[in-house]
Chain A
Amino acid sequence: MSGPAPARPPLLEVHDLTVNFSGSDGVARAVDGVDLTVEEGETVGLVGESGCGKSVTALAILRLVEPPGHIAHGSSVRLGGRDLLALGAKEIRAVRGNHVALVFQEPLSALNPVLRIGNQIAEAIRAHEAVTRGTARWRAVEMLTAVGIPDAKRRASAYAHQLSGGMRQRVLLAMALACRPQLLLADEPTTALDVTIQAEILELLDGLQRKLGMAVLLITHNLGIVAERTRRVYVMYAGQIVEEAATEQLFAAPAHPYTEGLLAAIPRLDERRDRLQAIPGQVPPATAWPEGCRFHPRCPHAWAKCGTEMPPLLEVTPGHRARCWLVKEPERRKK
C-alpha cells in the first residue's frame, strides 16, 4: 500500500487529533490522538461502534466542533500540506464545502426544512464562487440532475419534507459536490436508507467520485460496504484508532480482537442493522475511558497487562497496524 514516501504530501493528513468535550461530569475525550491519512482520489473507510468518535473526527477535520467541544492543542489537520487548524475564520470557510465537503448521516435533519432545496445548493455555490443568483440556481439544477433527480428544475423549488429519503440523500450529495471538492467526508451516508436505495446511492457516489477524481473518507459501521467500496480502513474504538490496514488485509487477517468481533457480526445482505451489537458489553462513556487497553473490559483475551498499560499502534505487517498487546505476545491469544 504505502510504497516509498510520496513526492507530494498526502491530500489529508490528520495527526494526533484530540477533541475534548467539557461538561458537568468531567471532560470527555471523544477523539484521542487520531492519526489518519487519505490520498488523492482514494476511498478510505472509518468504522466503529456508535459513539466511538467517528463523526466528531469528521467535524474536527473541518473545525466544525462546537462548544463545549474543542480541538486540543497539538492536533494537526493538513490538507495538501496546509494546516487547517491554523487558518483564520475566513480561510477555513473557503475550505469548507469547497475543498472538503461533508455529507451527513441523517438527510432529513441535514436539510433546512424551511428553505427550498435548490436554494440550499445554490447558496453553497455562491459561498465560494462569484456567480450570479441565476447561474448558481442553474448550476444547482444541473447538480440535481447529475445526482439522478428526475425533473430537477421543478424539484429545485421543493422543500425537504416533500422528498423521499433516497431523494434527500441525493440532494445532500448534490449539495456537497456542488463545488467539486477534492475530499468528501461521507458520514454514514446511507444508514438511514433501505438496502436497495443504499446500493443506488453508493453506486452514484462511486460514479461521481470517479468523474470528479475526488477522495472519500467513508464513515460507516457497515463492514459490507467497507469491503466493497474502500481501499484502506481505519477501525475506531473509544476515541482511538485501534487498527489500520488495507481493506483486503483487514478482512483476511484482522489483528485486533475488536475488529474480529466486528467481522463476526457482519450482517447478511438481506438484513438491515443500524448498530453493531454482536460484541458483548458496552462502549464505556467518554468521560471515563478504562485504564490500559480501552477494550479490555470487553476483550476475551485480556490479561493483567491489558488493564494497566495502553498498547500503542503496533505494526503487524507494513501498512497494517493494531493497538493490541497480542501483536507482541500472540501466545496470549485464547483459543
Chain B
Amino acid sequence: MLRFAARRLAFAVVSVAAVVFITFLLVHAAPGEPMLGTPERALASPETMARQRTLFGLDRPLPEQFLRYARNLARGELGESFVLHRPVAAVLAEAVPNTLLLGGTALVASLLLGLAIGVVQAARHHSRTDTLLSAATLVLYSVPVFWLGLVLLLVFGERLHWLPVSGMTSAGLEDRLSSLGRAVDVARHLVLPAASLALVQAAAFARFQRSALVESLDAEYIRAARAKGLTERAVLLKHALRGALAPTLTLAGLSVPYFLAGSVLVESIFGWPGLGRVAYDAIFARDYNVITATALVSGVLVAAGNLLADVAVAIADPRVRLDQ
C-alpha cells in the first residue's frame, strides 16, 4: 500500500512537472507578449514595452529563462505577475479557494444528482421514465456550459430575481450581515454558477451510473438479494449501487479537468473570482508567470482528483482496498 502510494505520488509529481515545462514552452513560443493595459486602452509606447522586457528578463535566451524559472520554482517561488505587479502566489492564494468552493460544490452536486438520476433510471430501466430521462440527459450533456450559464442567469437572475447574477457576495451589504448571513449570501451566489457547471456533468454521471447500475443489476447477487425478500429499494441502493459506484467515482476523479475548464467560462459569466478568471486574464495579457502557475495548480488539482477518486473507490469497494 505504501509503495503503491509512493509510486502514484511520484507519477503525479512527474506529470505536474511535465505540465509546467510544456506550459512554459508553449507560453513563450506563442506569439504576442506581455501587455500593458487593455485592448481598448493599450497605453504602452514601444519604448516602455522594451524596458519592460528588460525588467522582466524576457530579453534573455529562452533556456536561461527556463532555468531561472525552474530554480525559483524549486525554492517554492512562483515569481511575480507582470500585469498585477504582485507575487503570483498571492494571486493564487485568493483565487484557488474560490475555485475549490465552486468546483467542489459543482462536483459534489453533479455527482449526487447524477447518481440520483442514474438510480431512478436503472430502477425502471426500459420504462418510459427511463427513456425520457435518457433523452433529457443526452440533451443536457450536449448543451454548452456557456450557453446554459447564460440561460440560467437570464431566467433565475434577471427575470425571476430569485438569485443574484454575479459575484460571490452582495456588494455593499456584507458588513450588515452576520457570519451566518454571509454564508447564506455566498451560498445564494453559488447556486447559478455551480448549477451551470454541475448540470452538464450530472448528465454525464447519470448516463454512466445508469449503465453501470443496469449492468450490476444483472449480477447473480442481485437475484440473491431479491430471493432473500429484500425490497427493491434495498436491492438497488444497498446491493446494486455500492458495487456500481466505483466506475462513477473514478469518472468523478477524472472529471476535475472538466470542472477546471468549465470554471474558466462559468467564472467569467458569473463574475466568480476564481482560478479560471485568473487564467483567462493571464493568457490574454500574456502574463507568463501567472499562466504557468495556473497550469501548475491545475495539474496538482487534477492529480489530487485522481488520487482522491482512488481513495473513494477503495472505500466503496473492498476488493480494491484489500488487493493492494
Chain B residues whose CB sits within 8 angstroms of the CB of A104 once the complex forms? 220, 223-224, 227
B135 within 8 A of A: no
Chain B residues whose CB sits within 8 angstroms of the CB of A111 once the complex forms? 221, 224
| Cα–Cα distance between A146 and B301 once the two chains are bound (Å) | 52
Q: How far is the CB of B312 from chain A (nearest CB, A)?
A: 13
Are A161's CB and B229's CB within 8 A?
Answer: no
Are A93's CB and B231's CB within 8 A?
Answer: yes
Taking CB atoms and an 8 Å cut-off, the chain A residues in 116-151 that contact chain B are: 123-124, 127-128
Q: How far is the CB of B131 from chain A (nearest CB, A)?
A: 15
Are B229's CB and A128's CB within 8 A?
Answer: yes
Are B229's CB and A67's CB within 8 A?
Answer: no
Instruction: State which of B229, B231, B243 has its C-beta within 8 Å of the C-beta of A112.
Output: B243
Are B228's CB and A175's CB within 8 A?
Answer: yes
Instruction: State which of A62, A98, A114 has its C-beta within 8 Å of the C-beta of B317.
Output: A114
Q: How far is the CB of A190 from chain B (nearest CB, A)?
A: 16
Residue ID in chain A nearest B220 by CB atoms: A109
Interface residues of A: mostly helix, strand, loop or mixed?
mixed
| Cα–Cα distance between A128 and B230 once the two chains are bound (Å) | 9
Are B228's CB and A115's CB within 8 A?
Answer: no
Interface size on A, residues (CB 8 A): 31
Are B242's CB and A114's CB within 8 A?
Answer: yes
Chain A residues whose CB sits within 8 angstroms of the CB of B316 once the complex forms? 114
B22 within 8 A of A: no
Interface residues on B, range: 20 to 34
Are B226's CB and A64's CB within 8 A?
Answer: yes
| Cα–Cα distance between A91 and B50 once the two chains are bound (Å) | 85
Chain B residues whose CB sits within 8 angstroms of the CB of A162 once the complex forms? 322
Residue ID in chain A nearest B126 by CB atoms: A67
A102 within 8 A of B: yes
B225 within 8 A of A: yes
Q: Mark B205-234, 1 if CB is under 8 A from A, else 0.
A: 000000000000001110111111111001
Q: How far is the CB of A215 from chain B (nearest CB, A)?
A: 17
Instruction: State which of A59, A113, A124 has its C-beta within 8 Å of the C-beta of B221.
Output: A113
Are B318's CB and A95's CB within 8 A?
Answer: no
Chain A residues whose CB sits within 8 angstroms of the CB of B230 once the complex forms? 93, 123-124, 127
Chain A residues whose CB sits within 8 angstroms of the CB of B223 once the complex forms? 59, 64, 66, 104, 110
Instruction: State which of B227, B234, B318, B322 has its C-beta within 8 Å of the C-beta of A101.
Output: B227
Chain B residues whose CB sits within 8 angstroms of the CB of A172 once the complex forms? 224
Are A114's CB and B226's CB within 8 A?
Answer: no
A159 within 8 A of B: yes
A256 within 8 A of B: no
Q: How far is the CB of A57 from chain B (nearest CB, A)?
A: 14
Chain B residues whose CB sits within 8 angstroms of the CB of A94 once the complex forms? 229
A97 within 8 A of B: yes
Taking CB atoms and an 8 Å cut-off, the chain B residues in 171-223 that contact chain A are: 219-221, 223
Are A112's CB and B317's CB within 8 A?
Answer: no
Instruction: State which of B126, B220, B229, B318 has its C-beta within 8 Å of the C-beta of A127.
Output: B229
Q: How far is the CB of B216 from chain A (nearest CB, A)?
A: 10
- Please list the residues of chain B having a beta carbon within 8 angstroms of any beta carbon in chain A: 126, 219-221, 223-231, 234, 238-239, 242-243, 316-319, 322
Q: A110-B220, A110-B224, A159-B318 are in contact. List 8 more A-B contacts (CB 8 A).
A: A93-B230, A94-B229, A106-B220, A112-B225, A113-B318, A114-B318, A123-B234, A175-B228
- Show 17 A/B contacts (Cβ-Cβ < 8 Å), sorted by A: A59-B223, A66-B223, A96-B226, A97-B227, A104-B220, A109-B221, A110-B220, A110-B223, A111-B221, A112-B224, A113-B243, A113-B317, A115-B238, A123-B234, A124-B229, A162-B322, A172-B224
